Amino acid sequence: MEYIAAKKQKTANGIIGISSTVFENIAARTLDDFNDVKSAPKAKRKKPVLTSVEDGGIRVDVNVLCRSSANVTQTCLEVQKAISENITHMTDFTRVKVNVIVKGFFS
């Protein structure tokens, strides 16, 4: 299991490390708040949400399907913002980069 300890997240007692699974779960659960997107099906050996450390922050790649009648750009911007805000709110990590990758559409 990979743990993420971003720079400048040090407390008086040491550095806090959070499992990458926590960030992935926050992102996946955030998608549940939206009617016009859903998590893309799991591809071979790839999860629909992936996290990594990038330049001392957290990078979250979210693969989604968009409703065919939705404004894709606006919806993805809202998803990006919501995921970033939820991660910051729940973990205090402020350097969060969210990439929303549209893999297809649904009706």
For residue 40, give the nearest of 107, 99, 104 by alpha carbon: 104
Is the pLDDT at 1 greater than 80? The verdict is: no
Strand pairing report for 96-106 and 49-54: unpaired
pLDDT digits (tens, 9 = 90+) for 36-81: 999 999 877 778 999 988 887 899 999 999 999 999 999 999 999 9
- Measured distance CA(51)–CA(58) in Å, rounded: 7
∠ at Cα 33 (39, 78), nearest 5°?
A: 85
Strand pairing report for 3-4 and 18-19: antiparallel
Residue 96's pLDDT is 94
Rounded to two decimals, the pTM is: 0.87
